[in-house]
Chains A and B, each alone.
Chain A
Amino acid sequence: MSFLRCALVFSLVLVAGQALAVIETYEFTNTELEVRYRQLSTELRCPKCQNQNIADSNAPIAQDLRKLLYQQLEPGASDDEILDYMVARYGEFVRYRPRFSGATAILWLAPALLLLIGLLVAFLTLRSRRGGSASAAPQLNADEQQKLQALLDKTEKDS
């Protein structure tokens, strides 16, 4: 029973968070526009509060950008047109998925590069470990072999 109650409270808290996320609502003529509005507003970064998208932020500038987004979506602007418009004013910074360019290359390539480095390190480590145990014994030369045998013989006699 208490578990159910906890679950209920928890789900209500989740719903409350969602209710706060949207500050004002816009009426769209069709649902496709609304879906694009949601998608674009989570992809555009608020220039003022830099770690929030414009859907989450209640800063005045985020409000303006949401309004602008609505005003551009309704007459039928394409996603690219809207993003170009925003980037022309606020820079590539305003997008959470910036275009690939010299300045953003490291951002886009770093994950793949790091993965490659990781795989390489893992591969080399595993190979040296496997190779190491197999080749350790034969690396002793005749002289060392003799010494080893002498030591072993000695310990046997001692015991």
Chain B
Amino acid sequence: MAPRLKLFVPLILFAVLALFLFRGLALDPREMPSALIDKPLPEFSLPSLGQDQLLSRSDVVGRVVLLNVWATWCVSCRVEHPYLHQLADRGIPIYGVNYKDDDADALRWLDQLGNPYVANIVDREGTLGLDLGVYGAPETYLVDAAGVIRYRHVGVVDDRVWRTILQPLYEELSAGVGGQ
């Protein structure tokens, strides 16, 4: 009997391989968990876009906020922009990190497309981006009231991403603040 069972070995190997490959189809290797999840938002002191003042960590921390890394050279950011307006209209505080961009270009962008941000942190050299582990734009961080990073989304935030991932987390964290 054993030799006959041996004939099934290639089939079993194939099945196992096919299972792994099939699983691989649904995985996006770019969706890496950030190394900063559950870590405090890094300290920074950077200019505010279009304003003559410096922004630091304490200006952002205090309530549950979205931190959106964007730039005018980033095509996906333009796709994402209208949805950020929708979120801002619903009262979600969004802080922008204008990542490795030109101030004049960024101001023109906000002038033309509207400004959904509470304020924009100018990260011209990408230093804050480096501390955040940003590797491209757009990226969106969910920061809780205590200033701890709870989630990082790489890529465009759209209705699906908001409703399935960010909104539940956002509401959970906001409710936690209200209850305290």
Contact = CB atoms under 8 A, between A and B. Distances in A.
Interface of A: 47-48, 50, 60-61, 64, 68, 87-93
B30 A91 contact: no
Contacts, number: 33
Contacts of A68: 130
Interface stretch (B52-60, B84-92, B111-119, B132-140): B132-140
A70 B45 CA distance: 23
A89 B131 contact: yes
Contacts of B130: 64, 68, 89
A48 B135 contact: yes
A24 B170 CA distance: 43
19 contacts: A47-B32, A47-B133, A47-B135, A48-B135, A48-B136, A60-B126, A61-B134, A61-B135, A64-B126, A64-B130, A89-B35, A89-B36, A89-B131, A91-B33, A91-B34, A91-B35, A91-B133, A92-B35, A93-B32
Chain B at the A interface: SS class: loop
A10 B167 CA distance: 57
A110 to B, nearest CB: 13
Interface of B: 29-30, 32-36, 100, 126, 130-136
B36 A50 contact: no
Nearest to A65: B130
Contact of B133 (A50, A60, A89, A92): A89
A58 to B, nearest CB: 14
A60 B35 contact: no
A90 B30 contact: no
A87 B35 contact: yes
Instruction: Output the residue of B29, B32, B35, B131 with the most chain A CB within 10 A.
Output: B35
B177 to A, nearest CB: 27
Nearest to B99: A60
Contacts of B135: 47-48, 61, 90
A90 B133 contact: yes
B136 A50 contact: no
A91 B126 contact: no
